Amino acid sequence: MKIRTYGWIQNPSSFQSLKKVVQIFDTASQHYQNLKDNLINSIYNEVIRNNLKDKLINNENEFTYLELVGTSKNKQGKPPSSRKDAVADALIQISIEPQQIKSTGKTWTDNWTADGFLRWAVSFNFIKVDREKDTFSITEKGLAFSQANDEEQELDILRTALLAYPPATQILSLLEENGDYCTKYYLGSKLGFRGEKGFTSYNEDIMYDWLASSSAVEKKKIKSDIEGTSDKYARGICNWLKNVGFVQTKQVKRKFQNGQKRKSSRI
């Protein structure tokens, strides 16, 4: 039996890409047909490509972790010297276009991103896991999401899924208790299991002080690159909640005293 954890998701944010992942398991979906007719040819290794193509031709809707997420290997089947040298070898990889597609021409994503989307689908109860076989299949909720025909129907399904996802309800509770706008650092410090390995958060006051003494270029880098794992979780969940209309965002101003000069920073 393979033990994997699925509850915490850092990277994925696109609901449309999530829907494509769910539709891998829906044999009646347009995306399943596109996989069968076109996208499967993006897989470089002939043996892997033919094995997956046979499953699609036979309208199978249960796949292993390896068939979905794949690996990070180059054309020679070895670990790549850099991520750009990795070739596609799994269904989720070829289902999601990377953000840099226009500049790189690469039409598939990496296995780390694929794993994140699978975790997301499982956490929202769109996909279920058979831990004994390490395989995945669609749930009734997942089928409803896959077959949702309009934006409002999709939105209702996603809202219901979020309200059943404990980290999202924890974020909503923290926002309600605070009664004001909160930064990802504040939310991250109270999210998850404080002190547990893997849940790190930067102190909000320290981050404000750091931003206050930084140049404009440094501020931009700090805001985009400096965050703990728990801060990343908080940011990602807040983006989901914002996209379904549960929360709103704005820039938060804070004033600092530096001798006789006041500096303001936004986060």
Decide: 171 and 163 in contact? Cβ < 8 Å: no
Task: Let me know whether 109 and 184 are in one domain.
Answer: no
Residues 94 and 179 in one domain: no
Percent of the chain with pLDDT over 70: 89
User: Residue 266's pLDDT band (boundaries 50, 70, 90)?
Assistant: very low
Single residue among 87, 119, 150 that ends a domain in this structure:
150
Residues of the domain holding 256: 165-266
Asked whether residue 104 carries a pLDDT value surpassing 90, the answer given is no
Regarding whether 131 and 208 lie in a shared domain, the answer is no
Q: Do residue 53 and residue 114 come from a single domain?
A: yes
Q: What is the pLDDT of residues 177-186, one digit of tens each?
A: 988 888 888 8
- 155 Cβ partners below 8 Å, 6+ apart? 244, 245
What angle is formed at CA 258 by the lines to CA 257 and CA 260, rounded to 5 degrees?
90
Q: Are 136 and 202 in the same domain?
A: no
Backbone angles phi, psi at 124, to 5 degrees: -90, 5
Distances (CA, A) of 185 to 12, 61, 160, 197, 206: 19, 40, 26, 17, 10
Domain boundary among 90, 123, 150: 150
**30 and 67 assigned to the same domain:** yes
Domain count, the chain: 2
208 and 129 within one domain: no
- Is the pLDDT at 14 greater than 90? The verdict is yes
Q: Rounded to 5 degrees, what angle do the CA atoms 25, 31, 34 make?
A: 120
CA distance linking residue 196 with residue 105, whole number of Å: 40
Indicate whether 143 and 30 sit together in one domain.
Answer: yes
pLDDT tens, 191-226? 875 555 556 777 777 777 777 777 777 767 776 677
Residue 10: inside a domain: no
DSSP string, 56-99: HHTT---EEHHHHH-----TTSS--SSGGG----SHHHHHS--T
- 83 occurs within a structural domain: yes
Q: What is the CATH number of the domain that holds 20?
A: 3.90.241.10
Residue 159 lies in a domain: no
The answer on 124 and 227 residing in a single domain is: no
Q: Is the domain of 132 the same as that of 33?
A: yes
Answer for the pair 189, 201: CB distance below 8 angstroms, yes or no. yes
Q: How is residue 3 annotated by DSSP?
A: -
Q: What is the pLDDT of residues 116-141, one digit of tens each?
A: 999 999 999 999 999 999 999 999 99
Average pLDDT of the segment spanning 135-162 = 97
Give the CA dihedral 194, 198, 199, 202, nearest 10 degrees.
120
Mean pLDDT of 64-84: 93
Same domain, 22 and 142: yes
* 140 shares a domain with 185: no
